[in-house]
Structure 1
């Protein structure tokens, strides 16, 4: 069965891939899993039939047969564990990748919306130190990097990221991946035809 991902019919970001459904599309592209897109207007997200899929009426949702998931991190976690390519085979490395998936969503992303620039600066400095000169967080590219890059992309153009060159390069490496570019294509096409 081909998974279905619900995305915005008219993304508020103009189709630049800054919404959380981008994480899901990118993960599916990385593992080479075909998927279908369900385009929804904001008004459709409030309807009971959509709330049955996502009780909070947000994006994205993921449907694969009888399995229905919401929350982009949970969906990426599922994809990474279901299809090869986004998690290391070694169990210790796999556990570290999952740890960094949680760090992206539970440590870095919340401080970006906290309104506390000092707190964000400290966290980004810590992340920068951990990354150092490495290409990826822990060895090869993984679901952890996919999530961290999508989180850090929200800082594009902000002075805070401009001052941390290794994190800038890290985001650029993620955005240069063919699967990332392909995941952007559906949004770009939607915006051109809407």
Structure 2
């Protein structure tokens, strides 16, 4: 049965390239699994959406009879049994780094991103930048002497961590962290990321075209 990935039907320009269905598309491209895309309204959350995702967010997937939400949970589910999820002790280390990405790095990045780009609160963004930079420096130190987080190969932990680094990198926060910048570039230079991003952006372009046709 074909996996179905659910994302929003449309979003404005700013979040495009960062809506988290991209993470799922990337992993699916890495493992070569086919999928279909379904949508839920972004403006008015439907009862069906809330029944599947109580916080009215995306992405969600249907994999056979299983319905899952939260990008981290989806990535872990899809990575099982593939090259992106090692076995034995390296599996435990991969899980460790997935949870570290979600709990120890992303909250610092998100608070700063919201202050700077959504609220446009320069004072808050400046205050939040210092702890974010500290976390980024700590991550670079943990990567010292290796290309990837676990097992000398690209895993689901690297996919998630490097996706989180894209906005800080674009904002220049990795400019003085050459090792971390190289790590992020190494991950997002993978062909699967390029294919996933192309499909992700094509989805929004098609949504724009539908809106234009409807307005006409």
TM surpasses 0.5: yes
Match of 1:125 in 2: 137
Displacement, 1:140? Answer: 0.4
Q: How far apart, CA to CA, are the structure 2 residues paired with 1:16 and 1:96?
A: 31
Q: After superposition, what is the alpha-carbon deviation per residue over 1:87-108, rounded to whole angstroms, capped at 9, x for unaligned?
A: 113x111110110011111100
Match of 1:57 in 2: 56
TM-score, normalised by the number of residues in structure 1: 0.91
Displacement, 1:10? Answer: 2.4
> What are the ranges of 5 or more consecutive residues in structure 1 without an aligned counterpart?
none
* Matching of residues 29-44 of structure 1 within 5 Å: 29-44=29-44
Q: After superposition, what is the alpha-carbon deviation per residue over 1:63-95, rounded to whole angstroms, capped at 9, x for unaligned?
A: 1121011000000011111x4121113x11111
Q: How far apart, CA to CA, are the structure 1 residues paired with 2:110 and 2:132?
A: 9
SS at match of 1:75: helix
TM-score, normalised by the number of residues in structure 2: 0.82
Match of 1:167 in 2: 180
SS at match of 1:43: coil
RMSD of aligned C-alpha atoms?
1.7
Corresponding pairs, count: 191
Match of 1:86 in 2: 84
Retained in 2: the 8 A contact 1:59–1:70? yes
